[in-house]
Amino acid sequence: MPVRMEIARVLIRETDDTHVVELREVGGERVFPIVIGFHEAAAIERRLMGQLPPRPQAHELLASVIDQMGGHIECVLINDLKKHTFYARLRVRQGQDLRDIDARPSDAIAVGVATDVPIYVEPHVLEEVCQS
């Protein structure tokens, strides 16, 4: 069963290209970082601070398109880790169908923050990143 996570913090480094979103287990102690791009980090941070863009940006646009097509984003699921690369899915309900849409974790989290949906991580991913 996937583990519910929350964003612990977003680190934007102005002097290099390494930016991080840190996820923390809800009701637990496990925490792990995901390296992300500047634009995704900035989008996540803006939303967390309640700063809505005056016009839809890419993540808000995607959420709006899904909504206009009769879909509803249920959650973000970080479902795999291969060769130090995380994989994620946006779980979208459209009528009776539940669709898993492949996404980079940074984009999935940014869309999730924009739509206020929960973030989950598969247990095997959490176990692997929290071993050390």
Per-residue pLDDT of the chain in tens (132 residues, 90 and over written 9): 999 999 999 999 888 788 999 999 999 999 999 999 998 999 999 989 888 888 888 889 999 999 999 999 999 999 999 999 999 999 999 999 999 999 999 999 999 999 999 999 999 999 999 875
Q: What is the pLDDT of residue 131?
A: 77
Q: In terms of DSSP bridges, do strands 119-121 and 31-36 run parallel, antiparallel, or are they unpaired? A: unpaired
> What is this structure's pTM?
0.91
How far is 1 from 15, CA to CA, in rounded Å?
39
Q: Provide φ and ψ at 79, rounded to 5°.
A: -110, -10
Domains and CATH numbers, the chain: 3-129 (3.10.690.10)
For tokens 């991913």, what's the residue?
A: 125
- The stretches of the chain forming alpha helices (DSSP H) are 38-48, 58-68, 105-115, 123-129
